[in-house]
Structure 1
């Protein structure tokens, strides 16, 4: 048998879940800032790439390698 404390905990958990869902939805719709250095090889990412691809985290060569790997595994 549930009591008032269980009901209150359920209500709080629902509100936390709703707030987290709203936060995650807002986060995914706005692109992040581009990194200055590649997260894979620590080489600097050229400014032109950072401006052209907002939210980039890898240099061109590391991104190309990841895309090739992804295409290989997608088959």
Structure 2
């Protein structure tokens, strides 16, 4: 039977795999046109420069983080 640590590790691995797959699919993509995977709006250039791995705009990322806090 899996304990909480095992489930947390599995979730972290899945999240990392998803992030890497998403990043790999952007190979050769013009970063100036990168869009938020949540709302489809363009991710601001300043955010892409500060966090080139970001897949969401600041507003959508804030919503994600709020949801995570409520799940705990």
**TM-score category of the 2 structures, normalised to the smaller one:** 0.5 to 0.7
Cα distance per residue 1:19-45 (max 9 Å; x no partner): xxxxxxxxx6xxx46671000100000
TM-score when normalising by structure 2: 0.54
Moved over 6 A (4+): none
* Unmatched 5+ stretches in structure 1: 1-27
Asked if 1:59 is matched to 2:38, the reply is no
- How many pairs align? 44
Cα distance per residue 1:39-68 (max 9 Å; x no partner): 010000000000101200000000000000
Displacement, 1:72? 0.7
* Unmatched 5+ stretches in structure 2: 1-19
- Greater Cα radius of gyration, structure 1 or 2: 1
TM-score when normalising by structure 1: 0.52
Q: 2:37 aligns with which of 15, 36, 39?
A: 39
